[in-house]
Structure 1
Amino acid sequence: MEIRQYDRSVSGSAPRRHRRWLRRALVTALLGGAAAGGALVLLPPPQPRTAPPAPAAGPRAEAQVRARMLAAVTTGVPAALPDLAALIGQQERAVRARPRDARAWAVLGAAYVEQGRRSADAAAYPKAERALRTSLEVRGADNVEALGALTALANARRDFPAAKRYGEQALKLAPKRWAAYPPLIDAYTGLGDYEHARSTLDKLMALRTGADAKPAVMARASAVYRDRGWREDSVAQLTDAAAAARTPAQQAAYLTGIGQLAWERGDLAEALRHFEAAVRLDPGRREAHAGRGRALAGLGRMKEALAAYRAALDGQPDPQVTLELAELYESLGMERDAEEQYGLLRNRVAQAVSGGVDEELLIGQFEADHGDAEEAVLRLRAEYGRQPGIEVADALGWALHRTGDDEEALTYASAATDKEKGGGVRSALYAFHRGMIERELELAGPARRHLKEALQINPYFSPLRAPAAREALQELGEVPDEPLPDDLS
C-alpha cells in the first residue's frame, strides 16, 4: 500500500501556477525540502552516547509516562512536544534494534505525525510516511495502527480523499476501536461530507470508552457540534473534556479550543483567560499563543498582541499564523513589517509543500486578498473539485468576487453560509464575504443583513475586514421606509 504523493503538475494549468508560486519562495527552502523528500533514509544515524539524566521518579514512573505517551500518539490524544521528542528517540532506538517490529514502526510514524502537526514542521511528514510504509510492509494491509496513523498524516497534509480511504479501511478492520473514528470524522469534514461526519460521530458516541478516552471523544463531539452551529453544546463538551483531561498537555489543548470558541463569538476576555491558562499548562502550545495574539489585538493591546504572535511563530512558524500577523501589521500601517511577513509566508508555504502538505487553500486565500486573484480562482476551483468543504467554498467565492465575477461568487458564498448545503458553522468571515458580494450585486437588503451578522457574531473577527464591514454598512445606510405591499395595506 502506498501513500499518494502530491504533484501539482498533474491537473490542468496547475504546473504554471505551481511554478509561479514556488519561484517567489526562497530557493533555500525548496532545496531543503527536496533533500527531505529524496532517498529513502528511514532514520538519522545513531547519536553519540551521552550520560542519561538521573530519573526523577524511578523506573515505574518512567514506564507510566512512556505508556501514556504511547497511548497518546496511537489514539490522537494531545501530547506535549518534549514528551513527543523523547518518545521519538525511544522508538528510533527500538526500530534499529528490531527492524521487523511493525508496531514500533507504526508508533514512530504516529509520533512523527503529531510532532509535525504540533510544531508546524512539515519536514516530519515524509519521515512519518516512510515509517508507516515500513510498518505496512512488515505486517501487511491489516495493520490497524499504521492505517490510523496514515489517516492522521493525510489529514495533517490536507489530503482528505486519502484520509477517507485509510480511515475507512482502519474502521472496517476495527469497528470497536474508538481511535479509528476521530480522524475519519476529520476527513469527512474536509471533504464537505457533513452527513457522514455526523453519523460517524454518532457511532463513536455509542461506543463504550474508558476514562482515558472520554476527553478526546468529547473534544471530537465539540468540533462536530461547532460545525453544526451548536455553540452551547460545543462549549459544554469541550469544557467537560478539559475537566476530565489526564495530563497538562491534554488540558491545555482543550482549553485552547474553548478559547477559540470564545473568540469566534467575540468574547475576548473569556478567550484570553483560556488561552493564557493553556500557555501556563503547556508553554509549547503555539495555537494558544496565536489565540492570545488574536484576543489581545481585539482588545487593542497591540504591543502584547504582537509579542504573542511572535511567540507563536518562534522556532517553526505556521504559515496561517504568519498570514494573521502580516495582516495585523498591515492594519496598523506597519507596511514594512507586513511585507516582511508576507515574504516569509511564501517561504513557509514552500517548506510545507515540500513536506507533502496541500496548501492550495491558504495560497488561494492569500492570492485573493494580497496577490493574483485570477490565480486564486484557478487554484481554489481545482481544490473545490477535489475536496469541497465549506472553507474552500467560502475562499473560492471570495476569490471570484475579487476577479469581478460576483454572480458565480454568490453561489459559493451561499453554500458556505447555508446550513442545508454546508456544515452550519457560524462564521463572521463567511458572513462578511457573502455580504460584500451581495453589496457589489446591489442586493442591499441581504448585504446589510449579512454584514451586520458578521459583526454580531464577532466584532473583532479580522483587523482588516471588520473595519471594512463597518464602512460598508455605513455606505449602505439604514433600511429605507417603504410602503407595505398592496395585499397587506
Structure 2
Amino acid sequence: MRAFAILAGLALIGVMAFTIFSFTAAPAQDPAADRPVTETLQARLKRLPTDYRSWAQLASQYVDQARVTGDPSFYTKAEGALATGAKLAPADDTVLAGQASLAAGRHEFAEAVRLAERSIAVNPYGAPAYGVLADAKTQLGDLRGAQEAVDKMLSLRPGVPAFARASYAAELRGDKTAARRYLDLAQNDAWLPADLAYARYYLGELALHSGDLATAGTWYAKALQAYPAYTPALAGQARTAALSGRLTEALDLYQTVVDRLPLPQYLIEQGETRLKAGQAADWTLLKAQRKLFQAAGVRDDLTWAEFEADHGDPALAVRHARAEYARNPNLVAADALAWALFKAGEPAKALPYAKQATATGWQNPLLRYHRATIERALGRSARVEPGFDPTLSALARFS
C-alpha cells in the first residue's frame, strides 16, 4: 500500500520516499562554516564525529537507500549510525525521528509510534516525526490518529511529503477527488525530479485502480519524463501493459524492472504475468529476497500471506496473515487474513475481516473483489468488479 511503498517493497511505502532527511533542520553551524557546501555527511562526520544530527541524517540516508534500492543491508548501516547518534544525544528529536523511521522501515510500527511521539515531545514543531507517526498509525489501523498527524504535518510544513500523506489518507476513506487534489498539490510543489516523478506516479496509480488504463499510462510516462530512473513508474507501465493484454510488452518491462529493483512486489507481479502468458513462474529470486529481508530484521508477514494465499500453501498464508494482523490490524492486513481464510476453506471466518477491510469506503478493487467472492461462497448476492482479472491480483495491490 502507498504509505509504505518502499517499506513493504518499495510498501508501507507506508511508507514514503520522503523520509526525515529530506526536510530535517541543518546541523548547527561550526567554526568551519565556510567549507564547501558539497561536503558529504561522511566527510563531515570524519571532521566532526560528535555531530549527532549528522549521524541522524546519515541514518536517514541509509533508510532511504534501503527503500529505493531494495537492499535491506542499509537498515543495518542506519542502525549503526543511529546508535552512535543516540550515544551522543539520546533525547535529540532528530535522532529519535531517525530511530522511528528505521523502526517503520523494519515494519516495527508500534515502536515507530513510540519513538515518533518521543521526538514530538522534545520538538512539537518537527514535521518529519509527524510524517513517520502518520505512516505508522496507518499501518496499525489507527486512521483517526494518522489523520491527526497528517493534519499537523500540513500545518507545520505543507509540501510534497505532507501532501502525499494527505492524499493517501483521503484515498483510504474513499475520497478519490481529495486524493487526486492533494497529489496535484504535491506535483505543483515538487521541484526535485524524483519528487515530481513520485507525485505523477501516484496520480497514475489512482487512475489505474479506477480502471482508466490510458490515463494511468500517461501519468507513468510523465513520471519517467521527470526522472527516467524512477523504477516504480516503469513498473506502472508494465502493469498497464499486462492489464491491457499486451503481455509480451509487459514481460519485457518487468524484466527491466526486476533487473533494477528486485523487490518482492515486482517479482510477484512478474510471476503472475508470466502465468497469464502461459509461462512458468519462477519464485526462486522472490524467496531469496525474503531471506535477505529477514536477515536484516525486516518482518513482512503481509507479503507472504498474500503470496501463499494466491500461489502457495493456504494454511501457511493463514499463519502469516494472523501474525501480520495481530501486529498491524490495518485494512490491508484484514483483507489478507480474510483471503487466506477463504482460500483455506473457511469463508464464514473470513467474512468479518473482509467487511473490516472495506469498511472505510476505500475504493480498492482487490479488496472489493475478495469480499464479493467470499460473500458469494456463503450464498449471498455480491457484485464482482467488472473487468477485474483475479489472475493478475498482485497488479491490483497498491504499491
Q: TM-score range by the shorter chain?
A: 0.7 to 0.9
Residues 1:304 and 2:249 aligned together? yes
Aligned equivalents of 2:114, 2:246: Cα separation in 1: 46
Query: Aligned AA for 2:123?
Result: A
Aligned equivalents of 2:176, 2:135: Cα separation in 1: 19
Counterpart position of 1:404: 345
**Pairs within 5 Å for 1:227-266:** 227-266=172-211
Deviation at 1:426, TM superposition (A): 1.1
- Percent of pairs identical after alignment? 35
Counterpart position of 2:50: 100
Deviation string 1:210-236 (CA, Å, 9 cap, x unpaired) is xxx523221221111111111011011
Query: Aligned AA for 1:166?
Result: L
Deviation string 1:302-322 (CA, Å, 9 cap, x unpaired) is 222222222221234111110
**Pairs within 5 Å for 1:105-184:** 105-140=55-90, 142-184=91-133
Aligned residue pairs total 366
Aligned equivalents of 1:428, 1:193: Cα separation in 2: 22
**Pairs within 5 Å for 1:435-454:** 435-443=372-380, 445=381, 447=382, 449=383, 451=384, 454=385
Aligned equivalents of 1:354, 1:284: Cα separation in 2: 28
Instruction: Flag the structure with larger Rg.
Output: 1
CA pair 122-365 structure 1, distance change in 2 beyond 3 A: same
Deviation string 1:166-220 (CA, Å, 9 cap, x unpaired) is 111112211122222111100000000111111222223333x3xxx52322122
Contact 1:377 1:396 in 2 (8 A): yes
Deviates more, 1:282-291 or 1:87-96: 87-96
Superposition TM-score, scaled by structure 2 size: 0.87
Contact 2:20 2:60 in 1 (8 A): no
CA pair 88-430 structure 1, distance change in 2 beyond 3 A: farther
CA pair 272-89 structure 1, distance change in 2 beyond 3 A: farther
Query: Aligned AA for 1:96?
Result: K
SS at match of 1:322: helix
Residues 1:200 and 2:200 aligned together? no
Superposition TM-score, scaled by structure 1 size: 0.71
SS at match of 2:162: helix
CA pair 388-125 structure 1, distance change in 2 beyond 3 A: same
Gaps of 5+ in 1: 1-68, 76-86, 467-489
SS at match of 2:260: coil
Contact 1:218 1:237 in 2 (8 A): yes
Counterpart position of 1:484: none
Deviation string 1:423-475 (CA, Å, 9 cap, x unpaired) is x32111111111111121111x1x2x2x1xx33xxx35654459xxxxxxxxx
Contact 1:171 1:181 in 2 (8 A): yes
Aligned equivalents of 2:200, 2:241: Cα separation in 1: 17
Gaps of 5+ in 2: 1-18, 26-36, 395-399
Aligned equivalents of 1:250, 1:174: Cα separation in 2: 26
Query: Aligned AA for 1:179?
Result: P
**Pairs within 5 Å for 1:38-117:** 72=22, 74=24, 90-117=40-67
Deviation string 1:234-272 (CA, Å, 9 cap, x unpaired) is 011101211221211110111111111111111111111
Residues 1:219 and 2:168 aligned together? no
Aligned equivalents of 1:97, 1:320: Cα separation in 2: 41
2:370 pairs with one of 420, 424, 433: 433
CA pair 287-465 structure 1, distance change in 2 beyond 3 A: closer
Deviation at 1:418, TM superposition (A): 1.2
Contact 2:250 2:273 in 1 (8 A): no
Query: Aligned AA for 2:275?
Result: E
Contact 1:192 1:387 in 2 (8 A): yes
Query: Aligned AA for 2:207?
Result: A
Counterpart position of 2:135: 186
Deviation at 1:394, TM superposition (A): 0.3
Query: Aligned AA for 1:157?
Result: R
2:296 pairs with one of 355, 361, 366: 355
Contact 1:171 1:177 in 2 (8 A): yes
Contact 2:21 2:57 in 1 (8 A): no
- 4+ residue segments displaced more than 4 Å: 460-463
